[in-house]
Chains A and B, each alone.
Chain A
Amino acid sequence: MTDFTEYDVVVIGGGPAGLVASVAASETGGRVLLIDGGIAGGGQVYRNSGMPEHSVYDKYSSEKVAGDALRHRLASSNVEQSFQSTVWKVTRDRRVFTIGPAGKRNVIAGSLIVATGARERVIPFDGWTLPGVIGVGAAINFLKADWAVPSGRTVIAGVGPLLYAAATKILDLGGKVAAIADLSTPYEWCRRLPAMLNRIDLLWQGAKWIAAIRRRGVPIYHQHTVVAAEGDDCLSRVHLAPLRQDRQGEPTASISIDADCICVGHGLQPNTEITRLIGARHCYVPDQGGWIPVRDDRGQTTIPHVFVAGDVAGIRGATVAELEGEQVGLTAGEAAGLEVDQALQQKYAAGRHALNRSLRFGWAIAGVMRPRLALLDAIGPDTLICRCEEVTRSEIETATREAVDLNWVKRLTRCGMGPCQGRYCGDTVGMLLSRCSGKSIAELGYWTSRDPLFPIEIGIAVGDTGYEAIALPTPLPG
């Protein structure tokens, strides 16, 4: 029998939302635990390096300043912290099973806050599993963690502001950006300009990124996508083609570029593995990243005392995550029976106004990063959809003749059964099944989430259970 340590509030995910939620909850005087897989708070957007601070690049980074401020808030708080820890199982009654450097740590929460953020969405193209093809977020992550850039000529492709952030950061650190291929159109951005004016500071930052990129002579191809990555054992050439939203049929490559690295990203999608595992209701909102947990205005999901904050509840960016984290930390604390006094309410009241302003900006950006069905046209029949189990588009389309939902496709093809547990192929399979069946993605649903949430050593799940613990039935007489 495993022991569960009791906490008033447990927060899963130490990015801006989770970190701030844990600090706010702890200010009520309750016992709060923050669990995260990284080495320090900040998540991916404010990811800290494991190396001491010596880099010149460091000083100029506004993200480093913001991240350090958050980490300082955490250090000054009474929050108990469990870093480099993996949450592998969560139950409806708020038991959380984790494994970390100090071994197993299982806890039970009065209130649980899931702040697991988002991951990149990458819709496949021929050759996308070649060494040299990485996510846009990936390039930004190893830049932040290790102050490193891809070696050689880099093409950045996909959609969203991260393309320009990545290009700027890579150029700043002496990398070579050969081209940017942006799926979006200037019209899409203009339409969202009124909403984006709520955050003039971020709009200005984006404009500076683009100006810096143009000054360096980096070509930007609008409404273009990668249709093929070519190479023997690693990438050597990239083929781009125009992709109109309304076009049917395969786009023909019009631009070919010698490249050593492609950074590709087609938006962000919430990490809802935990909320789906415990049976919370979800809805499909493409403009907020896809499947998101249904929640009330206090951030509570349809499972009592389970709350969500930050990008996991819909892609809205780091500022919204931080401000929402404050509010959800307090409401989750209250739900766990902790007292949120006048002073504490006052302290976080200003945050509510700032939250509404930042929300409009966040929604606008997330809309540009929505999944784009037209990208399916660039996927050939032999292109891998499932990276882990190496299942091709044609194998999946054969399965769709029989399959009524994604889980059926999984059973027929093994797609989604590999180590990433469907995180990277899920959206694409949904889009393919929708196109083949004529049903909407919302109707078709998503993978059934199962524990372990990440691959773990089997001894952790089995524990001390031995054969003697298995109750053998008595044999029938005769």
Chain B
Amino acid sequence: MRILRRSQYSAEENRVRIFVDGEPIRAIAGETVATALLANGFTVFRISPRKQAPRVPFCFMGACQECVVRIDGHLMQSCMTPVKGGMRIERLMSEQSGD
């Protein structure tokens, strides 16, 4: 799914650079990492272990764990984590990457 940002704060000068699976993307400092990914067209956050199905955030409040990604080396809920410039984010796209 995709998301549209509606804040006036999303102007050019408020953007920071973060990396998603090595790719540099422009995010807004302080928005959630989950929104940064969804707004930049990342339509898959993880692949489910049993049926290999694509998944994205579901509850957006830290309960469902669908939005978990690796942020600067630590597994964290992207829906509850604000973006900081320079963050390195990796998605859990294969069965092994949850280790």
Residues of A at the B interface (CB closer than 8 Å) are 37-39, 44, 49-52, 54-57, 84, 119-120, 129, 131-135, 137-139, 141-142, 145-152, 173-175, 233-235, 260-261, 271, 387-390, 418-420, 423-424, 454-455, 457
Given contacts A50-B31, A51-B28, A138 and B61 within 8 Å (CB-CB): yes
Given contacts A55-B9, A148-B35, A234-B43, A419 and B58 within 8 Å (CB-CB): no
Task: Report yes or no: A135 in contact with B3, Cβ–Cβ below 8 A.
Answer: no
Write the chain A residue with the least CB distance to B83. A50
Task: Report yes or no: A137 in contact with B30, Cβ–Cβ below 8 A.
Answer: no
Task: Report yes or no: B6 in contact with A147, Cβ–Cβ below 8 A.
Answer: yes
Residue B7 at the chain A interface, CB threshold 8 Å: yes
Task: Report yes or no: B58 in contact with A133, Cβ–Cβ below 8 A.
Answer: yes
CB distance from B6 to the nearest CB of A (A): 4
Within 59-83 of B, Cβ neighbours of A (below 8 Å) are at 59-66, 68, 74-75, 79-83
Which one, B1, B35, B64, contacts A423 given CB within 8 A? B64
Task: Report yes or no: B1 in contact with A419, Cβ–Cβ below 8 A.
Answer: no
Task: Report yes or no: A135 in contact with B50, Cβ–Cβ below 8 A.
Answer: no
Query: Complex Cα distance A150/B68, Å?
Result: 20
Q: Which residues of B contact A49 (CB under 8 A)?
A: 30-31
B contacts with A, residue count (CB < 8 A): 47
Given contacts A173-B6, A388-B65, A390-B50, A145 and B32 within 8 Å (CB-CB): yes
Given contacts A55-B8, A135-B59, A424-B64, A50 and B82 within 8 Å (CB-CB): yes
Which one, B2, B7, B29, B83, contacts A54 given CB within 8 A? B7
Query: Complex Cα distance A394/B91, Å?
Result: 31
Query: Complex Cα distance A139/B38, Å?
Result: 13
Residues of B at the A interface (CB closer than 8 Å) are 1-9, 14, 28-32, 34-35, 38-39, 43-44, 48-51, 53-66, 68, 74-75, 79-83
Task: Report yes or no: B35 in contact with A142, Cβ–Cβ below 8 A.
Answer: yes
Q: Which residues of A contact B60 (CB under 8 A)?
A: 134-135, 137-139, 141-142, 145
Q: Which residues of A contact B3 (CB under 8 A)?
A: 142, 146, 148-151
Query: Complex Cα distance A454/B76, Å?
Result: 11
Q: Which residues of B contact A142 (CB under 8 A)?
A: 3, 32, 34-35, 60, 79
Task: Report yes or no: B39 in contact with A457, Cβ–Cβ below 8 A.
Answer: no
